[in-house]
Structure 1
């Protein structure tokens, strides 16, 4: 039996910020996270059951109909390589499969080569190009 559970819940803002930092992801302020988390369409956490620590997270934002954006996928480095990212993606994609209507657009910004393709994701180039703007 796994010592980890994937739960349909969101981390606290402080845990969210700490997980992103530990995973080497771009910084988010606690204020931004406090405002953003309640707008989540669906989210999951990975919990190390012996300690109760939240060691992973992932969520979907969007309009819950025509657009779904998978984001904030992170697993603390001390708990990587145990299948937690795959288990969280399975849960996120199960939500999409159960709720998204035909023609819904599901996207993400991939930062791990060869990971998301297992769930049917494809590079958008050359048909389209990902872009971003960060508020300073």
Structure 2
């Protein structure tokens, strides 16, 4: 992995955020929803190659009882270089410092991303529980 990647904990601008999500194969979000969501994040980690926004991840939730890891995405041309793991390391450092013994941290693993998340101690909720969603 390139040593000169820049890591920030500041949210990206909503347009860059949405473009990275789309390029990474995730769904698009409206500018309004992106602005609101990004500003209400508990924690953000962004990775840049000079000026190019190449990866990110966020933690959302209530800051006490529930935390959710979301938006783990790396620009396709940069995948396979350990950047997802780097993003998760920053997220796990945040969670170690800001969660409580009874806090619940969840995430949704798309595709084969479960292999990454297992490295950080995440396990399946099934069959005890099943993730559900409702999209507006």
TM-score range, shorter chain: over 0.9
- Correspondence for 1:87: 86
Partner of 2:120: 119
* Partner SS, residue 72 of structure 2: strand
Aligned 8 A contact 2:11 2:39 in 1: no
Root-mean-square deviation (CA, aligned residues, Å) is 1.0
Q: Please report how far the alpha carbon of residue 114 of structure 1 lies from its aligned counterpart in structure 2 after TM superposition.
A: 1.1
1:65 deviates by 0.8
Give the structure 1 partner of residue 22 of structure 2: 21
Write the deviation string for residues 12-52 of structure 1: whole angstroms up to 9, x where unpaired.
10011000000011121111101111110000101102xx1
Match of 2:41 in 1: 40
Report which stretch shifted further, 24-33 or 56-65: 24-33
How many residues were matched structurally?
Answer: 133
1:13 & 1:67 partners in 2: Cα distance?
24
* Runs of 4 or more above 3 Å deviation: none
CA drift of 1:6 comes to 2.1
Structure 1 unmatched ranges of 5 or more: none
Is contact 2:67-2:105 (8 Å) kept? yes
Runs of 5+ consecutive residues of structure 2 not aligned to the other structure: none
TM-score by length of 2: 0.93
Q: Deviations over 1:64-113 (max 9, x none)?
A: 11111000111110111111111110000100001111110000001123
